[in-house]
Amino acid sequence: MNPKTIIATGGENSRLDKFLSTILSDLSRTQIQKMIKDGLVLVDGQPSKAGWKLNGCETIVYTIPEIEPEIEHIEPENIPLDVLFEDDDIIAINKPPGLVVHPGVGQKSGTLVHALTYHFSQLSNVNGQLRPGIVHRLDQNTSGVILVAKNNQAHADLASQFEQRKIQKEYTGFTWGNWTAPNGIIDGSIKRKRSDPTAYEVNESGRHALTQYQVEVDGSVLSQISFFPKTGRTHQLRVHAASMHHPIFGDDKYGGGVKRTKGFVPEITKVLTQLLKKINRHALHARKITFQHPSTQEEVAVSAPIPEDLTLIIQAMHLLNG
């Protein structure tokens, strides 16, 4: 979802939705009206209404949302999977960075779902044929533990645990700079950004979001942090870390990318730049998840080891932090 900017030239006295329908001919008027309602259309930097009358001089920024791809069924693909846990109800996968969880715009194949349908004959269908077994998600470039349901009963039980915040999640993240407190709570509601609908920000009018953190290694350049999200908002840990002025290393969207390497001595900048190129993603890993088993009611904890690319950061931290 990339925002595009146009000037409302020729749209004098036209309704906003009608004018956009002439520009976005592949979308229906209903789809455009939903975009406007969802805040994906800004007129002179502000949300508007479908019936807003234009004067022809406005600057309009619009973002076409992800639309479910037109796929009738999932074609199984022999993509290797690292299975951490499996029984009759649940599968726990160690998702590698770069693997998209399910099909979406621009990603009709090569997803975790395609791999799951190849390796497993039974998966839940609560979320439809394009998302079999999928109970929750990880960002494309976040690695680590993700749970998959084999049947609808297990799916409903896990979904309820997520909703009631009974599932404990632990992440390892590498952030920029040293933290002032060794541990704490980040309590900041999260909302989609007006200027970039693909990103989120801390905003008091957003949805409640809560994250606990523990500093494992505190460094002047990079720190290693344990994050314990208590809610499950989109990009929550990335947004919360950035709100503390310690964005996740490698997270371009939230200020943790290559621009952050400036201002250090040349030797440090060189090491940081090389690290960013090697990992080529934000340095965030879902290392552990703890839940109540849907059938046995026993507590189950599944862990995923730190992946090889992030161990490069650990090895470099002594040199970087002095």
Pair 175, 308 in one domain: yes
The answer to whether residue 193 sits within a structural domain is: yes
Domain range enclosing 40: 4-62
> Mean pLDDT, to the nearest integer, of 228-242?
97
> Of 139, 163, 187, which one is at a domain's C-terminal end?
163
Assess whether pLDDT exceeds 90 at residue 103.
Answer: no
Instruction: Decide if pLDDT at 260 tops 80.
Output: yes
Do 179 and 313 share a domain, yes or no? yes
Residues 127, 192: one domain? no
Examine residue 76 and state whether it is found in any structural domain, yes or no. Answer: no
* pLDDT for the residue numbered 1: 60
Pair (151, 18) in one structural domain: no
Same domain? For 173 and 311 the reply is yes
- The domain tally of the chain equals 3
Q: Are residues 176 and 315 in the same domain?
A: yes
pLDDT at 194: 76
Indicate if the pLDDT at residue 104 is higher than 60.
yes
Q: Assign 68 a pLDDT band (cuts: 50, 70, 90).
A: low
What does the pLDDT read at residue 301?
98
The answer to whether residue 78 sits within a structural domain is: no
Reported confidence tier of residue 39, pLDDT bands at 50, 70, 90: confident
Domain shared by 219 and 148, yes or no: no
Calculate mean pLDDT across residues 274-286.
98
Q: Say whether both 302 and 174 belong to one domain.
A: yes
Report whether pLDDT(239) > 80: yes
Mark whether 245 and 284 lie in a shared domain. yes
Assess if residue 52 is contained within a domain: yes
Catalytic residue (choose from 89, 139, 157, 251): 139
pLDDT level of residue 27 (50, 70, 90 thresholds): confident
pLDDT-derived band of residue 279, with 50, 70 and 90 as boundaries? very high
Domain endpoint, select from 129, 163, 197? 163
Whether residue 69 lies inside any domain: the answer is: no
Answer whether residue 103 is part of any domain.
yes
> Would 72 be classed as within a structural domain?
no
Predicted pLDDT at 67 = 60
- Asked whether the CA dihedral 125, 126, 129, 133 is positive or negative, the reply is negative
What band does 196 get if pLDDT is binned at 50, 70 and 90?
Answer: confident
Together in a domain, 140 and 236: no
pTM for this entry: 0.80
**Domain check: are 235 and 112 in the same one?**
no
Kindly report, residue by residue over 160-193, the tens digit of the pLDDT: 999 999 999 999 999 999 999 999 999 999 998 8
Lowest mean pLDDT among 13-17, 248-252, 282-286: 13-17
Domain boundary among 140, 163, 186: 163
Report the mean per-residue pLDDT for the chain: 94
Say yes or no: 289 and 173 in one domain: yes
Residue 30 sits in a domain of what CATH number? 3.10.290.10
Residue 149: give its domain's CATH number.
3.30.2350.10
Whether 88 sits among the annotated catalytic residues: the reply is: no
Q: Residue 70 falls within a domain, yes or no?
A: no
